[in-house]
Amino acid sequence: MTHRDALTDHLRQKIINGELLPGSRLSESALANQMDVSRNTLRETFRALTEQGLLGHVPYRGVSVKAPTEADVLDIYRCRRTVECSVMGQAHPQHPAVERMLCAVQEAESHVTDKNWLGMGSANMAFHEAIVALSDSPRLIRMFRNVSAELRLVFLMIEDPGALHEPFVKSNREILEALLSDGPEAGADALEQYLLESERWVLGAYGRRRID
């Protein structure tokens, strides 16, 4: 891994963790000093993250963390249904990634009592990345990691994270149980219903923000 790749991963993780919120302007000089890198290296990192949909560049205003629009939400969920449901429908219940799905469900459930929404959201992302890992395709896994990062920006735009995350902790377990009990097609059906409900909820939350 090159120095630029490591820096890109570091900044991506800060965005995913909510340390850099949607709409936040990134100061090139401040970040270069803070991370002890050249401004040229930082510009290359900005370009990489812009291509991944995590940053946006506005002429004469600089670089900011992307604030996803409703159109972005629609496209992200279209991608999720296409990839995740297809992978789930062909999954083998004994695949090693199923254990990762179970661990992610248990992790999310452990955060319900203390209402750790960030931890719950991270576990939810881990669950869906594990679904894509059922494909055994490095390219799909790599692509979906970027989609997950964009989705995390969407979630950071939601003003009521509890209402977003808590209901889907139960849904993730139901998806897993459908796969294990009734097979891949049942798991894919449960997953598609989950994604449709999630998309509707997120778009509704965006609409409420616009009204407010």
- Given a contact cutoff of 8 angstroms between Cβ atoms, the answer to whether 118 and 18 are in contact is yes
135 and 67 in contact (C-beta within 8 Å)? no
Amino acid letter, residue 61: R
* Confidence (pTM): 0.88
Q: What is the pLDDT along the chain (212 residues), one digit of tens a residue?
A: 677 788 888 888 888 777 888 988 988 888 888 888 888 888 899 999 999 999 998 777 789 999 999 999 999 999 999 999 999 999 999 999 999 999 999 999 999 989 998 889 889 999 999 999 999 999 999 999 889 989 989 998 988 888 888 888 999 999 999 999 999 999 999 999 999 999 999 999 998 876 55
Q: How far apart are CA 4 and CA 43, in angstroms?
A: 10
Distant-in-sequence, close-in-space partners of 25: CB < 8 Å, separation ≥ 6 = 61, 62, 63, 64
Instruction: Give me the half-sphere count of Cα atoms (radius 13 Å) on the Cβ side of residue 197.
Output: 13
Helix (H, G, I), strand (E, B) or coil at 153: helix
